[in-house]
Structure 1
Amino acid sequence: IQQQADEDAPHALQLDAAIAETDTLMARFRGLLRISELEDHQRRSGFLVLDPLPLLQELHDFYLPLAEEGEMELLLQVPDSLPWITGDRALLFEALANLLSNSIKFTPPGGEVILRGVNDAGSTRIEVLDSGPGIPAAERAAVFQRFYRVDEGNQQQGGFGLGLSIVAAIINLHGFKLEVGSSERGGAKLILECRQQLMPEA
């Protein structure tokens, strides 16, 4: 229908607006379904013990071209080995990819994004740091709520506000802890503590 519509016709803009609104609603619906799926703890039955080092290397390699395109530096800082973690590798990749892509998105050209792995007293800690505008302290507790979006310079950011909610659902499923702070470069610092504290199955 859209292809058949005359671009100069009065109803063409209304049709485009309707299609865009439908796409938005469908994206929100898919996001909510995704969160609902992740809140079903039966997903834990597929957890495996895995080495986080190859996961972090894969994330760095995957996002390096995007960072270079944005004229920023993406650094991987890891030790020779890290304590292994228990979880779903695909879900952990999805969560960390979301955090990393957000940092790259909001870091200006000439900036720096760091993906860091730390051995924290026998457990793995993963950090994503950047030199972007950061997340205001007053908004850090709410940033992972569904549909929440940071209002940066009167321009709403963060897609449909469900990306970080999906991250939170993945982290909760694994019994991990995610903290939001400020990096030494003045931007955001996201800290994933991989000390596992799983709640009993419902």
Structure 2
Amino acid sequence: MRPRTAASGATSRRTRIFIGIVLVYCAGIALLLYRVVGDIDPRYRESAEESLVEVSQLMASLVEQDVIAGAINTGRLEPLFRSAYAREFSAQIYGLHKTRVELRMYVTDRNGHVVFDSTGRDTGADYSRWTDVRRALNGEYGARTTRDIASDPRTSVMYAAAPVRWGDEIVGVVSVGKPVQSFGQFVQDARSRTLWVGAGSALALLLLALIMSVWLVRPFGLISDYWRWLRRQRDLTFGRMARRAADTLRGGLREMRDALTGRSYVAEYVQTFTHEIKSPLSAIRGAAELLQEAGMSEAERTHFLANIANETQRIQDIVDRMMQLTALETQRALDRSENVALAELLHEVAAAAQGAAAKRQIRLHVNIDSQAWVEGDPFLLRQAVSNLLDNAIDFSPAGAEVALALHAGPREARLTVRDHGPGIPDYARDQIFEKFYSLARPHSHKRSTGLGLAFVKEIATLHRGRIELANAPRGGTIATLTLPLRSPG
């Protein structure tokens, strides 16, 4: 059986998450569309009913004009509706072409018996039990919806009634009706449009879900990392837990950002790396070809062998730094964290660099105005300061001084490394922290791997700090590593 790799496990997890997102989203969209589409018909009915109420009141006022001694006279209603039904017209109402009047009306007396029916079908019928008539005779608002054919919902007709008054007495009811089918085309069109919009939105958001599903693998890792960190701690405070959570979340956001630019980021990384190792590889190949020639003196042979060893070491340095930097960039938060005394750290770094500084007669001076503690990884912080100090030594002229200083403010500590070299050229200020970007050393005219300052920047970010490089007022460069303070104890 083929073993399950970490990559296939991550892919499987992303697939499951994506399927879960799709199912949840589809269920949500389906429920939303069901509610919206189901609500379209009632909204159109409400609009139609509002119009029927006004028409019924208007017709009731008309009928009241012909009430004599409490008796309703419907003599002029029949020719009115016969003429209306016979009218020929053409009205294009958006997608509906209307050619005939479909409005209905009937009138009842005070007992609920029909004295006029515009359709001519139910004159003389007892409508006293219909809701619209019964409520209107009681002086209330009455309405109903009834099917002409009980088994066919498409024959439904909406009615709204108004009382016919003679003085203070209700002597009858006027009820105006409209077939639901007359505005059913609007309902159908609105439903179709809603479904198309919903389907289009669903497809667009599913594409977004596909992208987000890749990212959502991250939060599970964030929670797992945070939980592992909690289990390793012996002394926990709310402040430390909140800071750790913020660091972990910040790391996850960086991963999301990198996921967006992942392909171009990797392509740029590989292209730059290839460019950087091309020069040492060419030097190694050239030296190797020359070594194959006959008649070369021992001194020349030793020189070219030394070149091969130096260029090989340079490639090794680039690879090692790249691996360290990549490990930092994929780290969401610090794996280990403890109280770090910055004064002691500066003294340790200065002592370790004494040998390299002495070779070029460079004096190291450490100035600490007050003790300061930060929460972090002492190994990474030591590497960051060492990188800054190595740069200062490399760019300082022989016999100069490099100053390391620690200044503690109310909330932050500033570690500075000052040299008296040529400073940062104007053209390099915006690129100084870019990977593989390096300036030639004044004494050797050689360049470094160009990864040191990028490495320091990543360490500063992991410690919620920042790194800045600037030209000093009286020449040279001053590097400032700023870190948030942590109280001792």
The aligned counterpart of 2:463 is 174
% identical equivalent positions:
28
Work out the CA distance in 1 between the residues paired with 2:410 and 2:446: 36
Structure 1 distance, partners of 2:463, 2:403, is 23
Counterpart position of 1:111: 400
Structure 2 counterpart of 1:55: 345
- Of 170-179 and 36-45, deviating more is 36-45
Partner deviation per Cα, 1:19-77 (whole Å, 9 max, x = no partner): 76655444323322211101133451311122111101111222233323311221101
Structure 2 equivalent of residue 66 of structure 1: 356
Aligned partners of 1:124 and 1:136: how far apart in 2?
Answer: 28
Q: Is the alpha carbon distance of 1:19 and 1:39 closer, same or farther for their aligned partners in structure 2, counting shifts above 3 Å?
A: same
Moved more, 59-68 or 96-105: 59-68
In 1, Cα distance between equivalents of 2:426 and 2:337:
34
One-letter amino acid matched to 1:34: Q
Distance in structure 1 (CA, Å) of the matches to 2:315 and 2:454: 16
Q: Name which of 42, 46, 50 aligns with 2:336.
A: 46
Distance across 2 between alignment mates of 1:30 and 1:60: 23
Q: Give, in whole Å, the separation in 1 of the partners of 2:439 and 2:351.
A: 28
Q: Which moved more, 1:110-119 or 1:55-64?
A: 55-64
Helix, strand or coil at the partner of 1:148: coil
Equivalent in the alignment of 1:99: 388
Query: Does the alignment pair 1:133 with 2:416?
Result: no
TM-score by length of 2: 0.35
More helix by share: 2
Quick check: 2:403–2:418 contact (8 Å CA) kept in 1? yes
Aligned to 1:35: 325
- Checking the alignment, whether the CA contact within 8 Å between 1:149 and 1:156 is kept in structure 2 is no
Residue 361 of structure 2 corresponds to residue 78 of structure 1: no
Give the Å deviation of 1:99.
0.7
Q: How many residues are treated as equivalent by the alignment?
A: 189
Q: TM-score, normalised by structure 1?
A: 0.79
| Greater Cα shift, 122-131 or 25-34 | 25-34
The Cα shift of 1:191 comes to 0.7
Distance 2:467 2:482 in 1: 6
Q: Which has the larger radius of gyration?
A: 2
The range that moved more, 179-188 or 51-60, is 179-188
C-alpha distance in 2 between matches for 1:68 and 1:19: 24
SS at match of 1:167: helix
2:319 maps to amino acid: F
Aligned to 2:293: 10
Residues 1:148 and 2:437 are matched in the alignment? yes
Question: Residues of 1 paired with 2:441 and 2:370: CA distance?
Answer: 38
